[in-house]
Amino acid sequence: MQPAISLLEKTAAPAGNDALRFGRGSLLHWKPAPERWSISEVLAHLAAREQVYAERALRMVAEESPALMKYDLAGAVARGEYSRGWRG
């Protein structure tokens, strides 16, 4: 993670974009725009998706024709599941 942070610090950023130079905790929650996800939200999304895919893989191995439910990304975002961020 440190090489990526160092690269970001060396990259020219628009004025007022000093959030990249704060500590790691702040960096994890920084958003490039209000409608974009933070690093923490992306990690929370990936962790949630991994759980969904693991369950699906296990069911595909164990069952003949498992009924796989559609993942509701919009619902997860609306419920604030990713806004709490990654708890890893």
Q: Is the model's pLDDT at 65 over the cut of 90? A: yes
Average pLDDT, the chain: 77
Q: How big is the CA angle at 9 (ends 6 and 14), to the nearest 5 degrees?
A: 155
pTM of the model: 0.58
- On the question of pLDDT at 58 being above 90, the answer is yes
Q: How far apart are CA 8 and CA 38, in angstroms?
A: 15
Q: Where are the beta strands (DSSP E) in the chain?
A: none
Of 4 and 15, the structure prediction assigns the larger pLDDT to 4
- Based on the number of CB atoms within 10 Å of its own CB, is 3 exposed (0-12), middle (13-18) or buried (19 or more)? exposed
**Could you tell me the pLDDT band of residue 14, with boundaries at 50, 70 and 90?**
low
